[in-house]
A and B are shown apart, each in its own frame.
Chain A
Amino acid sequence: GQNIDQPTEMTATEGAIVQINCTYQTSGFNGLFWYQQHAGEAPTFLSYNVLDGLEEKGRFSSFLSRSKGYSYLLLKELQMKDSASYLCAVNSGGYQKVTFGTGTKLQVIP
């Protein structure tokens, strides 16, 4: 089976940096997604990591370590609009099955 763990909630200050961790256990790992979901809205794609290392995209960066079953999403220069849930999702198996974690609810405070 698969197991994906993320912290349930986090709070950070506007302008600061926050790191949201995701650990996973799976067989046939293909890649890892991060999605953002504002309250009452649909998830939207942030990043997809296949290889080890850090990928930067503006204020958001995503890191993957396949050997450790570990990823994190790094948000810099936090803005109030970054308050949302962040979903980690693992792509695995020959049929490219995607399994979502329960998400981390981030609250950005002034």
Chain B
Amino acid sequence: NAGVTQTPKFRILKIGQSMTLQCTQDMNHNYMYWYRQDPGMGLKLIYYSVGAGITDKGEVPNGYNVSRSTTEDFPLRLELAAPSQTSVYFCASSLAAGGLNTQYFGPGTRLTVL
């Protein structure tokens, strides 16, 4: 099992550009999440999904969009990149809720917007 994979690992964007951060998991997990982590800070939830076709906003959704067409994939879209979106982005997945809600994280995407 590869677990949770993310691409790219690093990216530099110019203000106003758009991009998609890819996330794939091969553990057949229902739940998937996108977090951002600013330097020295905790994880802030951007969007999450409880299954294919179902997504919902987290704590900081503005400036981002997601889709979940399959169980495996949960891409995060930035439409008009802004310097405030410079951060490390982590994708995570979990089997279900409660005690099965242990989240497994991908290696992260380090994004810089200049």
> Which A residues contact B (CB, under 8 angstroms)?
30-31, 33, 41-45, 48, 50, 87, 91, 95-96, 98-103, 105
B100 to chain A, nearest CB (A): 9
A91 near B103 with CB under 8 A, answer: no
Give the number of residue pairs across the A-B interface with Cβ within 8 Å. 50
Nearest CB to that of A103 among chain B residues?
Answer: B42
Given contacts A30-B98, A50-B99, contact A100 B107 (CB under 8 A): no
User: Interface size bucket, B side?
Assistant: 20 to 34
B101 near A45 with CB under 8 A, answer: no
A96 — which chain B residues lie within 8 A by C-beta?
97-98, 101
Contact of B101 (CB < 8 Å), options: A42, A87, A98: A98
A42 near B105 with CB under 8 A, answer: yes
A100–B40 Cα distance when bound, in Å, is 13
Contact of A45 (CB < 8 Å), options: B43, B90, B104, B108: B104
A45–B3 Cα distance when bound, in Å, is 14
A43 near B41 with CB under 8 A, answer: no
